[in-house]
Each structure stands twice: as C-alpha cells, then as structure tokens.
C-alpha cells in the first residue's frame, strides 16, 4: 500500500475478496494506509462483501472510520459505501 502511495496513486482501493481472516495487525495496516492516503489528500476505500469480515469492522468500530463498499463497481461508481 505504501508503494502505491509513494508512486503517486493517492486514491487507494483495497479489495478484500480473497481475505478469509484479519487480525489487529491487518486492521492496523488498513488504518495506517487510510491515514497516509488522506494525509496526501487522497482517498481510501475497502471492498468487502464477507459478513464475517464486516462483523470485525463493526465490532472494532472501524466501519465508522473506513469507507466500505460491497463491490468494486460500487466503490468506483461513487455509491455511498455500506456500513
């Protein structure tokens, strides 16, 4: 993610389609990526349709911090992300 930002792509979308498990380290990396993107006046969004992962974001309160879309199409169309 940092390489993407350093390369100048300030609009970052992370697709979690292949992710089956996320822990505090992964959550921290996502929050850090969001912080760096926003500090550079970019944007940061997640694509996640997995109910188990979405529950992790809800329990931790990160669904209030991270923009989460249900599909890549939804995220790129500018549709208000679901929470």
CA-CA-CA-CA dihedral for 52, 54, 59, 61, to nearest 10: 160
Give the pLDDT confidence score for residue 34 in this predicted structure: 93
- The predicted-structure confidence for 4-33, as pLDDT tens digits, reads as follows 655 666 788 999 999 999 999 999 999 999
The domain defined by 2-76 carries CATH number 3.90.960.10? no
Q: What is the pTM of this model?
A: 0.81
Give the pLDDT confidence score for residue 75 in this predicted structure: 87
């Amino acid at each position: 993610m940092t390489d993407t930002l350093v390369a100048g792509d300030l609009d970052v979308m992370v697709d979690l389609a292949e992710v089956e498990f996320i822990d505090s380290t992964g959550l921290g990396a996502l929050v850090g990526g969001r912080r760096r993107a926003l500090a550079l006046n970019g944007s940061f969004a997640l694509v996640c349709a997995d109910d188990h992962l979405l529950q992790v974001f809800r329990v931790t309160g990160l669904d209030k911090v991270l923009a989460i879309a249900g599909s890549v199409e939804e995220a790129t169309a500018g549709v208000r992300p679901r929470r």
